[in-house]
Amino acid sequence: MLSRLPDEVICDILSFLPTKISVSTCVLSKRWSFLWAHVPVWDFEAEFFEDETQNPDVIHRVLLWHKAKTMHTLRLTRIDCNEYQLDTWITTAIRRKIRNLYLDFVYAETTVKLHRPLFNCKTVVDMMLGNCKGFSSTGDICLPSLKRLHLSRVEYEDDKSLPHLLSGCPLLQELILDCEYFENCLRSFNISSSTIRMLEVNLITECQYVPHFWFFTNASALRCLRMGNCDLDCITFSKDVASLVEVDICFTSCSAWSIDYSDDPNVVEFFDRLSKIKFLKISSHNDLNIIDGFVGSMEKLNNLTKLELRVVVEWYLLVEFLRVADNLQVLIADVEIRNSCTEPKQVPKCLLSSLKTITIKQPGFEEHELDLVRYLLRNSQVLERMEISPRKGISSWSSSCFLDLTATFKALQRIALFERGSKACQLAFFLDC
């Protein structure tokens, strides 16, 4: 049945497979002998050190057989090669008008250096470069079609290298920086672009603390900011970012350890820049003071309509957090609640007038966790739906590896009888057994 399809359709199907598998179809029949050579996607990823796809000679021979006039995608991951081989492959890709280029040399014996032709490719739209060097602050940069750039653990020549690279990307919309700490690494970055809409910064370290990095940002079109394992004062905006609507902040056990953000003027300024955001997500592990610090630093977020939390938190602090979001409509709380407390006297405004959907994900049904559910149901006056999802192994702090269905069912029966402030509210329970 498959062989009845036109060659173009078969090549399109083969493009979704790793090149190793695509090439192996040559044994199926005479017609299939060279169909793989017309596939516009080349994906070489060595899963193991002895994997034959890691052999640069194999890659070189396969690329020599390539018949397609254009190359849609070239992916080289965990490949160890010399600079001559790499230059040959990149030159071939550029001549075939490559659109998506992903190069990651994580297992290379020495750091691979990228040469100038790569930074003057007129057709590449999406590019990922990992574990390599060759990022200079001089020389021509011309990437007129590039819209998405991901730089992971790369070595910069100096602090002018990244601004120089960005200056040659007039259409860039997404920038992802994975920065790893090592001796003499660059720790100060200038990010200046009038077109970037999404910026993601991830700090990679095996230290017991996170070395400080600085990102000075001038991005007037920025709409989405994602921060992984960063201190909040590491990003500085040159001016108000009125376009920013979405912020995603993820802390690990190494970062933001018991920090009171309200005492740091840089953090307070950071939150001032977030005054117009609509979506906020905060994730953390093993960190009791995260939410406390946020509550102490934030002014009103009047435009915030969606809040997602994956944290350890005392539940009264969760309620206090809601006070800064008077117009919140969606709350997703994937949390471990610590300790019971006396209910706050003043109900957050969003519970009375705007919050319509609440999703609660939790590892168990302790009495203080049920107190939070009871409080939210009773005080949410316009709530339309509450979803509760008890899950096994929900988080790194959960030691449970199974779900006690009997105890869960009894807890859900209790919740179903809780007073509801909104007559229109529907309860939905989801079990991940």
pLDDT single digits (tens) 196-233: 999 999 887 665 555 667 788 888 899 999 988 877 76
Low-confidence ranges of the chain (pLDDT < 50): 48-49, 256-258, 393-401
pLDDT of residue 432: 64
Q: How far apart are CA 170 and CA 193, in angstroms?
A: 8
Identify the pLDDT of residue 207. Answer: 58
pTM over 0.85: no
Q: Where are the domains of the chain?
A: 322-433
**Are 178 and 151 contacting, i.e. CB atoms less than 8 angstroms apart?**
yes
Q: Please report the pLDDT score of residue 287 as a whole number.
A: 55
CB 411 within 8 A of CB 365: yes
CB 176 within 8 Å of CB 151? yes
Q: How many whole angstroms separate alpha carbon 396 and alpha carbon 340?
A: 21
pLDDT score of 256: 47
Residue among 329, 245, 258 nearest 292 (CA): 258
pLDDT given at position 187: 75
Cα separation, 72 vs 41, whole angstroms: 6
Sequence-ordered list of residues with C-beta below 8 angstroms from that of 68, at least 6 positions apart, any chain = 11, 37, 38, 39, 40, 96
Q: What is the pLDDT of residue 167?
A: 95
Find all residues with CB under 8 Å of 95, minimum gap 6, and list them.
Answer: none
Counts for the chain of helices (H) and strands (E), in that order: 11, 23
C-alpha 22 chain-centroid distance: 30
The pLDDT score that the predictor gives to residue 257 is 44
pLDDT at 210: 58
H or E element at residue 296: helix 290-297
R_g over Cα of the chain? 26
What is the phi/psi pair of residue 263, to 5°?
-90, -5
pLDDT of residue 318: 82
